[in-house]
Structure 1
């Protein structure tokens, strides 16, 4: 089963578990009903922005639709991409307080990705491995180089960019329970 099929199956199961119709999830997420139907059937390639919109509307972490992290993730391994960011799920950790998704990310050179707000009290932290990322809240952007890190609230709109070359890093997204 491919990524599209797995994502579609998990997305549909989450929607049904919350007793939401396709129309209601489409309305809550701002994703078209046709797009949602195609995603659930596995016939459409999901983007990072679309999956975040849907999982936020479902009150779930992104990893809930991506499934289990692959073992032995290699450089260049497949992931889900947005307008600037490609993310490969490395780890999902959950305890009584929160769920934390850990991604290997690449921010494309010269690209900018504006991300919508996630579920309440979500935070993100980026550890830069190479390149210089400009990330965070649009009015409080942080420039971070190799070995550095940035942290921001992700329950409000936020941005990723790599103005001077591709950036490679590790992104931690923490979703407190009971948001």
Structure 2
């Protein structure tokens, strides 16, 4: 479920996905297959009739070769918020420097479920700083434990997980750095 999505934001995100899919010459079926999601799910996202999960958006963005922020709508006055199995992420800023696009998120990792994020494009690196709680994050099978006040980074071109340890929510910041090879988040039109 995506939090704070309006019909306008969902429709704008859908238009962006459809435009990028078309620019890459991908059919709806082919993008759905590559992203590991149902064709009906992708169709619903493109028409704005379905709200995506963080996992679904990341899978689509990876197959389109763009940062997640490229897909997110900024149609409202509040920042885009996406929710996954364990994580609520609020996009705070997108900036570019030296051929890299950086997304800055405020992250809340809820205790209980483990969230698995699909692989991002090659060269994508994530940097997590934990403010409260203890997180277990990183490449699936090689996760790192990060206590309050700590930080970690990992290459996220494979499946990676987020979990809160000890029954306490984790509040953190997450930087995701993408090499710029495709459309830039600043040019999301």
Common topology (TM > 0.5):
yes
What residue is the counterpart of 1:115 in the other structure? 117
Deviations 1:84-117 (A, max 9, x none): 1111111111234211111111111122111111
Which runs of at least 4 in structure 1 moved beyond 4 Å after TM superposition?
A: 68-73
What residue is the counterpart of 2:48 in the other structure? 42
Q: 1:169 aligns with which of 150, 172, 176?
A: 172
What residue is the counterpart of 1:58 in the other structure? 64
The offset of 1:3, in angstroms, is: 2.6
1:99 paired to 2:101: yes
Under a length normalisation based on structure 2, what TM-score does the superposition of the two structures give? 0.85
The offset of 1:2, in angstroms, is: 3.1
Under a length normalisation based on structure 1, what TM-score does the superposition of the two structures give? 0.90
Q: 1:128 aligns with which of 113, 127, 130?
A: 130
**Alpha-carbon contact 1:117-1:154 (below 8 Å) kept:** yes
**Alpha-carbon contact 2:9-2:76 (below 8 Å) kept:** no
> Unaligned regions of 5+ residues in structure 2, if any?
1-6, 183-189
What residue is the counterpart of 2:4 in the other structure? none
Identify the range of structure 1 (108-117 vs 61-70) with the bigger mean alpha-carbon deviation.
61-70
